[in-house]
Structure 1
């Protein structure tokens, strides 16, 4: 039976970098994102460069019915996924009460509900086969409240807590669970445009390489970058009132222009 690594949010940014890092290591892939044209281009390039099988499926993870159809296809195809990477995610910025509610709901659907559903369905299949690995992508924002990004930060806190809990639950089944908490990554995201020229901000490729190596060591919580790891300690050891004040000030300073 052919084994695949499945990556959501794989058409750009960190998801794309993870797909390339795994293809370079000879992994067959199933790529999931919303944009079919982008996925098709990525699949073609990775197949040509690395000689691996790359399947793809355009699926909007904010739509539960689309997810149901996709999961049914996976079940009927009898393809075995031994690595699931939940990288798809949405971000919102600004005063929560001023945001469009449908966009905030989509964020919850993608960042929390779709991620948990994929873990449940594919995690069960992994347990039946006696093993597998799940990587959920959270954020440094998971370690503290995030004023001006309250819904986003809360969704990533869920991912962090859920992943650590699931790791213990699945330990005896042979399914390994890790959570990736990257800091800002050099990309097209407007929130970090002012950080993009900084040497302290890792590229998607650097984060992906660090992550793949950490997965091979079965690390529970993966935080690329020494500075980012230090920030997690500050968030956990500092007073809650001070942490949220500082986080709010930082988020305001780097607000989208």
Structure 2
């Protein structure tokens, strides 16, 4: 059985683009998302186009019991995974106190807890195998507070710092950890006329190609696009009160909803 690259959130957007970029390299894939019909179509298409083995599993990773069942299935089948791409995520926008708590909890379950659990389970498997690679998808929003999308920005800040911490922890196990922090990406999560006009969105396939090349070089922090790299470096130099104000203005103006 060949080793697989497991990609979560693989039914659309950046997750789908990453799956295609890896299939183009000849990688065997396991695609995970909630939409079974979409996954089945994508798996067939990638197999036909690139001649690779593509498995899929419909699973809501934000449901702890379903995630447990999925991990148990991988263990029982002795599935070898040497690349984990944590791309699944959800977003919320608006005044925190006005949000439905159930939706906020779902965001934290998926963006934080499910990601950490997948890394723990598959990281242990990789350590036994002698190594592997993990890519976590954060966001440019991870570098500063995010008023009017506070839970989302905070969840991505967790992904960023968690990834950088584990990169150092896991070096001796042969596991390489990278974190992707894209700016706006044209996808179902961020696809509005205001965003298209004003925030230099990148195409998902462009971000995926840049990311796969950076993974081959074992980059710790992956930020596609020179504008994004410049803005993030410049933003980190300002005082935190100013960063909060600018983030609040941007999130109100370019909100996806």
Aligned mates of 2:153, 2:199 — CA distance in 1: 24
In the TM superposition, what are the counterparts of 1:112-123 in structure 2 within 5 Å? 112-123=112-123
Q: What secondary structure sits across from 1:47 in the alignment?
A: helix
Aligned to 2:161: 161
Contact 1:191 1:255 in 2 (8 A): no
Q: Deviations over 1:87-135 (max 9, x none)?
A: 0001000000000000000000000000000000000000111110000
Q: 1:3 Cα shift?
A: 0.5
Q: 1:187 Cα shift?
A: 2.0
Aligned to 2:93: 93
Q: 1:200 Cα shift?
A: 2.8
Q: 1:255 Cα shift?
A: 2.3
Aligned to 2:251: 251
Contact 2:141 2:156 in 1 (8 A): yes
Q: What secondary structure sits across from 1:196 in the alignment?
A: helix
Q: What secondary structure sits across from 2:11 in the alignment?
A: coil
Aligned mates of 2:63, 2:32 — CA distance in 1: 14
Aligned mates of 1:223, 1:192 — CA distance in 2: 22
Unmatched 5+ residue regions in structure 2? none
TM-score of the aligned structures, taking structure 1 as reference length: 0.97
Q: Deviations over 1:170-221 (max 9, x none)?
A: 0011000000000000123356442225693210000000000000000000
Aligned to 1:7: 7
1:43 matched to 2:19? The reply is: no
Q: What secondary structure sits across from 1:32 in the alignment?
A: strand
Aligned to 1:132: 132
Aligned mates of 1:198, 1:189 — CA distance in 2: 16
Q: What secondary structure sits across from 1:237 in the alignment?
A: coil
In the TM superposition, what are the counterparts of 1:98-247 in structure 2 within 5 Å? 98-190=98-190, 192-197=192-197, 200-247=200-247
Q: 1:59 Cα shift?
A: 0.5
Q: 1:249 Cα shift?
A: 0.2
Aligned mates of 1:183, 1:17 — CA distance in 2: 15
Q: What secondary structure sits across from 2:85 in the alignment?
A: strand
Unmatched 5+ residue regions in structure 1? none
- 1:104–1:198 distance in 2 versus 1, CA, 3 Å: same
- 1:199–1:142 distance in 2 versus 1, CA, 3 Å: closer
Which aligned runs of 4 or more in structure 1 are off by greater than 3 angstroms?
A: 190-193
Aligned mates of 1:10, 1:190 — CA distance in 2: 16
Contact 1:184 1:192 in 2 (8 A): no
Aligned mates of 2:197, 2:188 — CA distance in 1: 12
Contact 2:10 2:39 in 1 (8 A): yes
Aligned to 1:75: 75
Q: 1:61 Cα shift?
A: 1.1
The root-mean-square deviation of aligned C-alpha atoms, in Å, is 1.2
Aligned mates of 1:184, 1:256 — CA distance in 2: 10
Aligned to 1:34: 34
